[in-house]
């Protein structure tokens, strides 16, 4: 009968224990210069918040897009809107949620707001200024004669325009044309929450727009909320719970149409029970 090699087993266990102590306590693994894509979900949210805050301060869209690319999200706009929704639902800073929604809107409209060509008139003006600045001043003893004849500028020759400012993509996008109220209807649906105000925002091509700020006011109060925080309902969808017997006013920024005197309505189910109905508003860019 063979004996159990206890000395070998004890040596293996001792070596394993010493290896764990060394790798976990004495010299643990340190991750240096890791890419943002390998971060945990909460650290990715903090990274997006930092990007949105930097964009709100500088308006540098190129840098914001480059930083978001490091996260390798399938859709950066949806990721920003979803994070803003989670922050509002958990009671986090409204300012950070606002910055995230604003960055999502800027990303969505960036291709329409950034100039892709340089106006030709600006280049001609810069050439004229450069050629004038290089002419030496006349001697002080020769009188200056003003004539209508000017030395023509040969546009076929290369002209140094190193000092000409180049267009950049740091301009903060705007929302474009004001919104028009195209629909207002009373909703009596017992399956919806009482007093639900639904807002749908569309662009001129009738595509839903995310990140649009909605201002709702009443006598003595005001709140703001954004579209796109419920992607399952649509990128241009937003809602708000109205209190009965209060008149509300809804507007999408300066210049847009105003939906005034909005309040809950009294509805009735087939069985005779009463409940508070809601309202659905549709805004669209002309």
Per-residue CA distances from 53 to 85, 171, 207 (Å): 17, 16, 27
Strands (E), 135-187: 180-187
> What was the pLDDT predicted at 176?
53
- Tell me if 17 is assigned to some domain: no
In a domain, 190, yes or no: yes
Question: Domain limits at 215?
Answer: 180-284
- pLDDT (tens digit, 9 = 90+) per residue, 24-44? 888 777 666 667 888 888 888
Mean pLDDT of all residues in 240-251: 94
- Report the half-sphere exposure of 50 (CA within 13 A, side-chain side): 10
Q: What total of structural domains would you count in the chain? A: 2
The model's confidence at residue 240, banded by pLDDT at 50, 70 and 90, is very high
Q: Could you tell me if 155 and 226 lie in one domain?
A: no
Nearest to 215 by CA among 182, 248, 178, 181: 248
pLDDT of amino acid 136: 52
Supply the pLDDT for residue 177: 60
pLDDT value of position 169: 40
Based on the number of CB atoms within 10 Å of its own CB, is 249 exposed (0-12), middle (13-18) or buried (19 or more)? Answer: middle
**Is there a single domain that holds both residue 47 and residue 67?**
yes
Position 231 in a domain = yes
Phi, psi of 180 (to 5 degrees): -110, 135
Q: Is residue 196 part of a domain?
A: yes
Q: What pLDDT is recorded for position 179?
A: 92
- pLDDT value of residue 154: 54
* Nearest alpha-carbon partner for 64 in 114, 21, 22: 114
Claim to verify: residue 278 and residue 247 sit in the same structural domain: yes
Please tell me whether residues 60 and 150 are part of one structural domain: yes
pLDDT tens digits, 205-232: 889 988 899 999 999 999 999 998 888 8
Q: Are residues 64 and 79 in the same domain?
A: yes
- Confirm whether 102 is domain-assigned: yes
Q: Indicate if 158 and 225 belong to the same structural domain.
A: no
Q: Is residue 27 a part of any domain in this protein?
A: no
> Given this model, what pLDDT does residue 234 score?
87
d(CA 60, CA 96): 17
Q: What is the CATH number for 216?
A: 2.60.40.10
96-131 confidence digits (pLDDT tens):
888 888 888 888 876 445 444 444 444 434 434 344
Is the domain of 103 the same as that of 189? no
| Torsion sign across C-alpha atoms 257, 263, 264, 267 | negative
Q: Are residues 97 and 227 in the same domain?
A: no
Mean pLDDT of 65-82: 88
The answer as to whether 256 is a domain residue is yes
| φ and ψ of 198, to 5 deg | -105, 135
- pLDDT of 45: 87
Same domain, 203 and 151: no
The reply to whether 45 and 161 lie within a common domain is yes
Assess if residue 22 is contained within a domain.
no
Distance CA 94, CA 97 (A): 5
Region 147-173: mean pLDDT is 46
- How does the average pLDDT of the chain come out, rounded? 78
Give the model's pLDDT for residue 247.
95
Based on the domain organization, do 49 and 150 belong to the same domain? yes
pLDDT band per the 50, 70, 90 thresholds, residue 241: very high
pLDDT, average across residues 181-203: 93
Q: What is the number of other CB atoms lying within 10 angstroms of the CB of residue 206?
A: 10
Pair (162, 184) in one structural domain: no
Report pLDDT for 119.
45
**pTM for this structure?**
0.43
45/55 Cα distance (integer angstroms): 15
Helix count (H) and strand count (E) of the chain? 6, 9
- Give the mean pLDDT of 76-90: 86
Per-residue pLDDT, 274: 92
């Amino acid at each position: 009968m063979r004996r159990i090699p206890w000395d070998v087993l004890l040596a293996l266990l001792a070596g394993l224990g010493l290896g764990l102590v060394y790798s976990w306590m004495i010299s643990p693994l340190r991750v240096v210069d890791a890419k943002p894509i390998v971060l945990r979900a909460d650290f990715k949210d903090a990274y997006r918040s930092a990007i949105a805050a930097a964009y709100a301060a500088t308006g540098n869209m190129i840098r914001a897009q480059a930083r978001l690319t490091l996260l390798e999200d399938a859709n950066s706009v949806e990721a920003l809107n979803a994070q803003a929704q989670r922050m509002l639902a958990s009671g986090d800073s409204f300012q950070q949620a606002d910055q995230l929604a604003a960055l999502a809107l800027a990303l969505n409209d960036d291709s329409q707001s950034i100039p892709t060509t340089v106006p030709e008139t600006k280049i001609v003006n810069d050439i004229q200024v450069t050629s004038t600045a290089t002419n030496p001043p006349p001697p002080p003893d020769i009188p200056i004669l003003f004539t209508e004849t000017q030395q023509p500028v040969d546009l076929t020759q290369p002209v140094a325009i190193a000092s000409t400012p180049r267009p950049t993509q740091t301009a903060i996008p705007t929302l474009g044309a004001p919104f028009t109220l195209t629909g207002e209807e009373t909703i009596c649906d017992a399956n919806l929450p009482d007093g639900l105000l639904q807002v749908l925002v569309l662009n001129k091509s009738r595509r839903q727009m995310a990140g649009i700020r909605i201002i709702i006011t009443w006598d003595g109060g005001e709140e703001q909320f954004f579209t796109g925080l419920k992607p399952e309902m649509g990128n241009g969808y937003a809602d708000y719970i109205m209190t009965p017997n209060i008149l509300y006013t809804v507007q999408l920024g300066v210049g847009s149409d105003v939906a005034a005197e909005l309040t809950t309505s009294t509805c009735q189910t087939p069985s005779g029970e009463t409940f508070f109905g809601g309202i659905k508003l549709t805004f669209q860019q002309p």
